[in-house]
């Protein structure tokens, strides 16, 4: 069993390299590529302040109940259990990334954030790069789709961080239908960076956010989610871009209130 499991893990870690030759020249827009939601949320720092994107009601809740409130929040904020390396080893190739500055942070660092703060962005990018170096035929999509508390200087810092970490591994923005595994392998590119900010038009290796649309069903009903996905996938295929099918259920405020002590996994995920 151990040997068989090891072979499966190896296959998932290099599944792009193992695809049949007939798919090497197929546009990646035509392939179903697995991704994760709030990809960094395997780690939520309960000692951190509340993220700047949170409404006043959440801010007040934490100011009153402190650490207890943050522990309850974590149960609803953590959408992943595996770190970046484990996700990559399991075959994940698309990462949903939300970036924030941290209030009163003396180092002026950039962090992943989802309600509370996660790890430093630099650490996460380096972890992904280490995997790519070991698996030169694997390709990842980094989707920077939400920015909180960021000014021009912070975007410049993030762009430089991407340059320093990935260098020539990043594929410049071109027509989506031109991106195939064969093209990327020949150019030795392994990273496509999608950047949902006007900054993208100023930097060659940043793909504009509209090239990776992600319609959101925003429902707790599985049937409504399936109907939404079926209706949207046909329409999005016509646009000549990459696109995301968000196969996720989203808890409402009432859902959280009813299951405040249980959490996302018990209330939503198992459904």
Query: Are 69 and 62 contacting, i.e. CB atoms less than 8 angstroms apart?
Result: yes
Catalytic residue among 114, 135, 155, 189: 114
> β-strands 110-114, 206-208: how paired?
unpaired
Which helix H or strand E contains 139, and what residues bound it?
A: none
135 a catalytic residue = no
Task: For residues 3 and 7, give the distance between their C-alpha atoms in angstroms, rounded to a whole number.
Answer: 6
Q: How many CA atoms lie within 13 A of 179 on its CB side?
A: 23
Beta strand spans in 121-190 (E) = 140-148
Catalytic residue among 24, 37, 135, 154: 37
146 a catalytic residue = no
Max Cα-Cα span within the chain: 59
> β-strands 191-195, 206-208: how paired?
parallel
Q: Which residues are catalytic?
A: 37, 114
């Amino acid at each position: 069993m151990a040997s068989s499991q090891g072979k499966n893990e190896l296959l998932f870690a290099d599944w792009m390299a193992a695809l049949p030759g007939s798919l090497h020249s197929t546009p990646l827009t035509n392939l179903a590529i697995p991704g994760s939601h709030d990809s960094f949320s395997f780690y939520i720092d309960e000692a951190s302040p509340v993220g700047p994107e949170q409404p006043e009601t959440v801010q007040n809740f934490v100011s009153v109940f402190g650490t207890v409130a943050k522990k309850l929040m974590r149960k609803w904020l953590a959408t992943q259990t595996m770190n970046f390396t484990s996700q990559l080893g399991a075959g994940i190739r698309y990462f949903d990334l939300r970036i924030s500055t941290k209030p009163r942070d003396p180092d002026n660092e950039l962090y992943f954030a989802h309600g509370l703060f996660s790890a430093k962005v630099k650490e996460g990018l380096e972890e992904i790069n280490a995997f790519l170096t070991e698996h030169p035929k694997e390709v990842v999509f980094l989707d920077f789709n939400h920015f909180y508390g960021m000014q021009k200087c912070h975007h410049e810092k993030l762009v430089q961080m991407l340059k320093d970490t990935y260098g020539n591994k990043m594929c410049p923005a071109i027509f989506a239908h031109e991106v195939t595994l064969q093209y990327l392998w020949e150019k030795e590119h392994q990273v496509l960076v999608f950047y949902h900010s006007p900054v993208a038009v100023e930097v060659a290796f940043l793909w504009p956010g509209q090239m990776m649309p992600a319609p959101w069903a925003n429902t707790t009903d599985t049937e409504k989610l399936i109907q939404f996905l079926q209706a949207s996938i046909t329409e999005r295929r016509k646009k000549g871009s990459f696109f995301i099918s968000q196969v996720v259920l989203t808890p409402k405020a009432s859902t959280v209130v009813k299951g405040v002590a249980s959490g996302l996994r018990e209330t939503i995920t198992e459904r």
